[in-house]
Structure 1
């Protein structure tokens, strides 16, 4: 089950829900469904901060899938989405390209977005 956290914070709603896409599986789905009924969690859903998108990426239209992909920074989730899309009956090249582009932007960010250090492993001051 895909849960989209459109907010800036990580929430514990039966499972750890980080900003961007969260691909819940197994017992995490049941825990999420139970926890989302609690007032604070229900308020996050009502406000549109936490959105249950679909069971998997192949059930989403291309535009919605693209928005979700662009808001996702978890490489493991992106890899899961790509595997699911590629193994579907009719893989969508636009979704696969969006996934590849997002992974590339995370793995190899543009030079102006890279942090430089002095070779000591510490971030710049």
Structure 2
């Protein structure tokens, strides 16, 4: 019988329930972010207005032109940043908002990466 990988390790991995937060402790995607502190004081009212304006329907449009149309429960900034105007806000479902946020996070991370440029190789026959 093949041995389990954890048996080859020095310590046994934690159980999944040991990795979860203590009971009653809320874990959100906002942890470690300054985003919440940058929202206006009346954000709950603005959020409710956007969800009402968009009739509680996800406003995301897929690449083939179809609208998601799932029930929306989140409000998204169309252009990332701190513009909280109604024209820059839209209702999204959880899945579409997570997908958009992940894409924006990946783009932001790529902009912070140090880029190194390698010298362009030349063909040996062209070297003088």
Q: TM-score range by the shorter chain?
A: under 0.3
TM-score after normalising by structure 1: 0.24
TM-score after normalising by structure 2: 0.24
> Which has more strand, going by share of residues?
1
> Which has more helix, going by share of residues?
1
